[in-house]
């Protein structure tokens, strides 16, 4: 008998190379998982980060019995591109690499800023992009509220960056002929 493929609508959570237990904990709450399920997501995959110390928080895996959200996690991968590609929603720490990799793939994105970081310049970028409606920005405490209220259709696609203007200026300054 052929297995019917379960439709996977995945939420991918990533903390990059940082330690960001607050995000993992916030995502792994019944509230958030319930809200994601209500919105039609079937799978939750969390990249929890790696370190030489033991984690203070490990999420609960779940096989999805009784129609609940399938939850899985892993520590680290050299490239999360594939996970981003197969996700329908991405929840990420505020690193610029993660943010732009996700926006370039055109995926809906919620950026969660780590308030425990000493020098939190990362929030500037997340807030600016949120103001320009390219993503949603939240603290771990407000994640549930953000997911409940979000309207992903209202997000605007992020226009691709262009390095040519700065290169043109550099070339001209050095006296290279214009192309």
CB of 52 to another protein, least distance (A): 14
**CB 31 → another protein: shortest distance, Å?**
31
Nearer to another protein, 156 or 167 (CB): 167
Compare residues 36 and 112 and give the one whose CB is closer to another protein.
112
CB 106 within 8 A of CB 84: no
Of 34 and 172, CB closest to another protein: 172
Cα dist from 159 to 115, 144, 162, whole Å: 28, 28, 9
What is the binding site for another protein (CB under 8 A)? Answer: 95-97, 100, 121-122, 124-125, 127-128, 161-167, 169-177, 179
- CA torsion 114-68-90-152 (nearest 10°) is -110
Closest CA to 23 of 81, 98, 83: 98
User: Cβ closer to another protein: 74 or 176?
Assistant: 176
Query: CB 93 → another protein: shortest distance, Å?
Result: 12
SS3 content of the chain, % helix, strand, coil (to 5): 35, 15, 45
Give me 167's structure tokens.
């290169």
Closest approach, Cβ 157 to another protein, in A, equals 14
């Amino acid at each position: 008998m052929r297995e019917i493929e379960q439709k996977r609508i995945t939420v991918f959570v990533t903390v990059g190379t940082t330690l960001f237990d607050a995000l993992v904990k916030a995502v792994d709450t019944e509230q958030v998982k319930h809200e994601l399920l209500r919105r039609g997501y079937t799978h939750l995959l969390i990249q929890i980060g790696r370190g030489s110390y033991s984690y203070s928080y490990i999420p609960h895996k779940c096989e999805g019995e009784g129609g609940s959200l399938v939850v899985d996690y892993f520590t680290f991968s050299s490239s999360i591109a594939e996970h981003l590609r197969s996700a329908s929603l991405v929840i990420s720490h505020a690193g610029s690499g993660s943010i732009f990799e996700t926006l370039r793939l055109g995926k809906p994105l919620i950026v969660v800023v780590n308030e425990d970081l000493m020098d939190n310049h990362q929030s500037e970028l997340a807030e600016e992009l949120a103001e320009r409606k390219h993503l949603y920005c939240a603290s771990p405490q407000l994640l549930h509220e953000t997911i409940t209220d979000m309207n992903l259709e209202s997000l605007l696609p992020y226009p691709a960056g262009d390095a040519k203007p700065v290169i043109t200026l550099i070339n001209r300054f050095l006296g290279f002929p214009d192309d």
